[in-house]
Chains A and B, each alone.
Chain A
Amino acid sequence: MNHEQLLREALAAKATEASVDLTLDDIRRSAGRRRWQTRRRVGAVLAVAAALVVGIPAAILLRPAGDGVSPAPAPSPTAPTTSSSPRPEGLDGIARGKDPQVAYLHGREVHQPDGTTARLPYGSSFVAGFTAYHGGWLLLDDLGGLRQYDNTGALVLRSQTGEAALAVSADQMRTAFVYGGHLRVGIATGMGQGESDLPVGNNARLVGFLGDSVVLNGYPDSPHVVDPGTGHTARVPGLEIAWCTAAGGDLVGGTVDSDGRGRVVSTSSARTLWTGDWVPDAFSPDGSRVLAVPVSSLNEPDEVAVLDARTGTVLARFSLAARDLAAAGRPVWEPSGDAVLFDVRETQGAQQAVLRLAVDGTVTRATDPAPLNGDAPGWVFATRP
């Protein structure tokens, strides 16, 4: 039996376990609730619009002089809009720039910025992130599983599917990962000495380093800053889900509520720096900028932007949709903090490449275009702070 047939059989067998017994009355009742909710949403939008019309002139008239004590209200960055192009261009016309200034995996080859290469035992088609560890490698596979290989390429550790994550500290000396319900923090170049191991349960999702601590979603419940040595936790204020951390600073970016509005908070001052329609996705190495995607297209971004991390001001933006492109994988900042790299694929065409969005708004290709088909590998960037 081939694997396609196996899939068919397994799905058909599993499907028989499901059952439901809804009545017409159940649906009538939920239809009534839904009609009400729709009206309520429309009403709320109208109310907000009315408040804005009245509120703007009032704010101009009534705004007090700064008292030096009350924090200024968090600014709300301009809502992203997708610019349109009459004819999608894909990757055509985007000039070739310099090669990526970070390590990346293409196929099974790890390409270092200095031009050296190394070979991984697992190809980039199945890898979501990787980092050097204990003389070998730690890999996240595309199903959220974690694999550790030693320096001979032998598999040391492997989790099944899950939601493993990797994080690297600001000085790139330490690596954190969650495995089997334990948060482990180790010295990347060491051989296991001085590692910490903290039970955090299977719901904990690693976000990133924040100084000597790490930020976890789902431990204990909402996002918390966790000291991996002592287990001490502190709630990240004002976030429902943390998405990214400024590894060397005190900023955490994430979403606020079920509508998914983006926000950056300062953990040292417990202040919200801004809330808006861009969701922070990756802080620059010095934490001063953040790559963000629109709330409206969170999982399949149609646009990316570089924001001032502390104010939410848009510094540069690039519409993927206008060029018929889709982002794939996780973006990464180059060490200079002047540009961010991301893997893109043509949604209607047949090419893929790595693009570089600089903070001055220029966009260049960091690789030559490669064919896009089921077997062609993409690019996966090494996990960075």
Chain B
Amino acid sequence: MTVQGVRMRARERTDASGDAEFGEWMSARQGALVRTAYLLTGSQHAAEDLVQATLTKLYLAWDRISDRQHVDAYARRALVNEHRSTWRRAHRRLEVLSDAVPEAPQAASEYDGEREAVWQFVQGLPPRQRAVIVLRYYEDLSEAEIADLLGISTGTVKSQASRALASLRDRVPAREEDR
């Protein structure tokens, strides 16, 4: 066997073991990724596309991720970055064309339930603000971690979250026992 042939066989073995390792990680983590993706995008279809794009990026970069302990954090960053690039490609007026919240004159009390009203509210947030809310209240990330992920200042994270909460209070009244 030539030197080149030996190198090719070694590469194939590395690829095969890397594939198996990636496949194992993917099976374990794709559920968590799609849940976050669903909250970010508001649509099952868009979430699937986002997760597939994220996993593809990770697959292509797998050999370069030397620290396997941080793959989850790497994957989350890739997911958020992919989502950001998607929303940046689309003009803000176009975003809602593909995923419009039905515009109807209805009060929050007309929703089936409080959680559904909150979800409707989250879906109507601009993409970056929605990302802040999902990362803060679903992923439980700190303001500094969110700022780092989204490439914005912690002050912006704080103001986006507080404005969203203020709007939420306005739109979804607290339950009687909380007043």
| A contacts, CB < 8 Å to B | 1-4, 6-20, 22, 24, 26-28, 30-31, 34-35, 125-126, 141-145, 157-165, 178-181, 202-203, 205, 207, 217-218, 241, 243, 255, 258-260, 298-300, 326, 347-348, 350, 372-375
Contact = CB atoms under 8 A, between A and B. Distances in A.
Contacts of B175: 1
Nearest 8 pairs between A and B by C-beta? Answer: A161-B124, A162-B103, A18-B38, A374-B162, A10-B118, A15-B35, A20-B34, A10-B115
A169 to B, nearest CB: 20
A144 to B, nearest CB: 6
Contacts of A14: 38-39, 115, 119
B93 A217 contact: yes
Nearest to A206: B93
User: Which of A157, A163, A178, A243 has the most chain B CB within a 10 Å cutoff?
Assistant: A163
Nearest to B35: A15
29 contacts: A1-B174, A3-B168, A3-B172, A10-B115, A10-B122, A14-B115, A16-B35, A18-B44, A19-B34, A20-B48, A27-B56, A30-B53, A30-B56, A34-B56, A34-B60, A35-B60, A143-B121, A159-B105, A160-B101, A160-B105, A160-B108, A161-B101, A161-B103, A162-B96, A298-B88, A299-B88, A299-B128, A350-B155, A372-B155
A143 B37 contact: no
Nearest to A126: B167
Nearest to A372: B155
Contact of A160 (B44, B91, B96, B124): B124
A28 B100 contact: no
Contacts of A159: 103-105
A260 B165 CA distance: 33
B10 interface: no
B107 to A, nearest CB: 8
Interface string B70-90: 000000000000000001110
B174 A163 contact: no
Interface string B102-122: 111110100000111011111
A281 to B, nearest CB: 10
Contacts of B146: none
User: Which of A19, A27, A126, A348 has the most chain B CB within a 10 Å cutoff?
Assistant: A27
B23 A24 contact: yes
Contacts of A375: 162
B60 A31 contact: yes
B87 to A, nearest CB: 7
Contacts of B89: 258-260
A218 B95 CA distance: 11
Contacts, number: 208
B51 A22 contact: yes
B124 A144 contact: yes
B102 to A, nearest CB: 6
A125 B166 contact: yes
B91 A22 contact: no
A11 B91 contact: no
A14 B56 CA distance: 25
B133 interface: yes
B67 interface: no
Given A31-B60, A125-B163, A180 B96 contact: no
B166 A126 contact: yes
B92 to A, nearest CB: 6
Contact of B169 (A3, A16, A141, A205): A3
A13 B57 CA distance: 28
B153 interface: yes
B131 interface: no
Interface in B30-71: 30-31, 33-39, 44, 47-48, 51-53, 55-57, 59-60
